[in-house]
Amino acid sequence: MYLIYNTVKQAAKGLEKALTATYNFLHLPYKRNFSLCVFLLLGIFYPAVVFSVQIRQDSVTASTVYNASFSFVLGTHSGPRTHTVPARFYFTATDSEHVYNLSAGTTAFPAWATNYPAETWGIPSTISQASPEYNLFTQALQIASDSNSGLVRGALAVTRAKFSGEIEFATYAGTSNFLSSPNFTKTIATTVSPKSLSMMQSKAYLYFFWLDNDKIKAARKGSSKDFLPINTLTTPEIDNSIGLAGCTIVTASNQEYIALTYAKSNNTVNITTFTDSSDTPAGSQAILLKDNLGNPTSIDTTKVAIAHNQRNQKVTLTWTSGGKGYFAIYNFTPPATFIEHVGPSLIGSGFETSYGISVESYANFESTLVLPETTLKSYSLREPSTLEAHGSFGDPSYAIQFPFIDENNKYYAGLLGFAYSDYKFYRRELKFPDEGRWDKDNKILHIEGPPWPNTLVKIEYDF
């Protein structure tokens, strides 16, 4: 094969010299056309001159939540070159597809859901109040990039209750002016029951819930609704000494539900769900809260926190009872069924009960619990139900977590702490899988962590 290739190569070179000599001899006036003829003739006898590096892709669909290894049939586009090693690969780890280079190695990575790296909370920025006017209960989130609420996408939104009873909503352009220079403010309502309130978002609306004596009030902000009308939820049984909490649930089929928790009694939480754009509850379920031994527990007076992890589709409830912290994990079936997945587990004891607790889930599989003790205590909840302490920081305070993307397009977990004086704004960067290994013998791409389900995983190779 080499002799044939070398012979053709030498013949092509000889042909090139002969044609060039002919041109010089005849002094042809159309040198540009002649050069094209030479190039085409060389392409016949010496294809490498015409065909440079070619790029081909193969792809498969990520169809399951936890899978991070994908088999490829390289012959799909590479013809007989099945020995090809990909030059790069593409997958969706965050909210869009990115390209990555392969790392050394051929084996699978440890399961991401149980081994993801959780950064510690950094040094906070301090936001001072000129004079105390807000009570503890604060909610914060970032307006989603696809929000149709009529608010600026990417803005940070905060809802706070004043000592005067006013519930104030404000948005901020970014982290540099967070809680200091709002670009929009609105007083939503006035309440005589300053308990923990709740703010959630769907694609179409921001939802607000608060207690007003023995009733739960609700309002929405959308492109056609400006926090009005204020509706009253029908709640036959409610313990109004305990506050509210909520989260957004996005199912695997991209159905959106708003979930609200309130105390039905001192040991039973009610979870009420709403479909997007509806003021009427889609359903409700009462859950008797128990300790890790199966005994009913009372609920300390702040709230029962709730979070939904869109990556693994699990719902986490967190609460304290007599200073002991607990969590339980549930599977959600629309419209309002919560089935226990992991029974109540003890977090620890000695927690401060007047500030409340926070649980939040993030797009990289993380679920994080923050509870006040002598400091703020932070825990990572790894699958299936392993709790790992990963931070003790700051002074005990009310704390609320929220995910956000900063001005440099980096993904963060944010935490806003407040104890009547200054606000403390903590952040920590969220880590996503960004490595891949190629098993050439078995044609398998091993990624450090699972892509988003129903997205493409691509390999790209040059030849």
Whether 27 and 145 share a structural domain: no
The answer to whether residue 246 sits within a structural domain is yes
Structure token digits, residue 355: 């500030």
The amino acid that residue 302 corresponds to is: T
Q: How far apart are CA 372 and CA 355, in angstroms?
A: 7
pLDDT in tens, 286-300: 999 999 999 999 999
Whether 272 and 410 share a structural domain: yes
Whether 290 and 384 share a structural domain: yes
Torsion angle (degrees, nearest 10) of CA 84, 87, 92, 97: -120
Whether 200 and 91 share a structural domain: no
The amino acid that residue 301 corresponds to is: T
Domain-ending residue, one of 18, 33, 49 = 49
Other CB atoms within 10 A of residue 177 CB = 13
Q: How far apart are CA 462 and CA 377, in angstroms?
A: 50
Work out how many domains the chain is built from and give that number.
3
Say whether the peptide bond before residue 47 is cis (omega within 30 degrees of 0).
no
The answer to whether residue 89 sits within a structural domain is yes
The answer to whether residue 15 sits within a structural domain is yes
* Residues 246, 251, 252: CA angle, nearest 5 degrees: 150
Whether 225 and 319 share a structural domain: yes
Whether 111 and 235 share a structural domain: no
Among residues 212, 336, 219, 214, the alpha carbon closest in space to that of 274 is found at: 336
Among residues 214, 180, 217, 182, the alpha carbon closest in space to that of 197 is found at: 217
Whether 401 and 268 share a structural domain: yes
pLDDT in tens, 317-355: 999 999 999 999 999 999 999 999 999 999 999 999 989
pTM of the model: 0.86
Q: What is the pLDDT of residue 52?
A: 57
- DSSP character at residue 177: G
Whether 33 and 90 share a structural domain: no
Q: How far apart are CA 248 and CA 260, in angstroms?
A: 9
Name the phi and psi angles at 414, rounded to 5: -110, 150
Q: How far apart are CA 76 and CA 82, in angstroms?
A: 9
Q: What is the pLDDT of residue 18?
A: 52
Contact 221, 151 (CB under 8 A): yes
Residue 361 Cα distances to 241, 314, 315, 430, angstroms:
27, 9, 9, 11
Structure token digits, residue 461: 């190779």
Whether 199 and 88 share a structural domain: no
Q: Report H helices in 161-203.
A: none
Torsion angle (degrees, nearest 10) of CA 197, 205, 315, 375: -40
The answer to whether residue 120 sits within a structural domain is no
The answer to whether residue 424 sits within a structural domain is yes
CATH number at residue 252: 2.120.10.70
Structure token digits, residue 463: 């030849």
Sheet containing 55-62, strands listed edge to edge, beginning at the edge strand earlier in sequence: 55-62, 455-462, 88-92, 97-100
The answer to whether residue 110 sits within a structural domain is yes
Range of the domain at 32: 2-49
The answer to whether residue 167 sits within a structural domain is yes
Whether 305 and 383 share a structural domain: yes
Name the phi and psi angles at 158, rounded to 5: -135, 135
Whether 275 and 405 share a structural domain: yes
Whether 317 and 442 share a structural domain: no
- Listed as ranges, residues in the chain with pLDDT below 70 are 1-53, 75-83
The span from the first CA to the last CA of the chain, in angstroms, equals 19
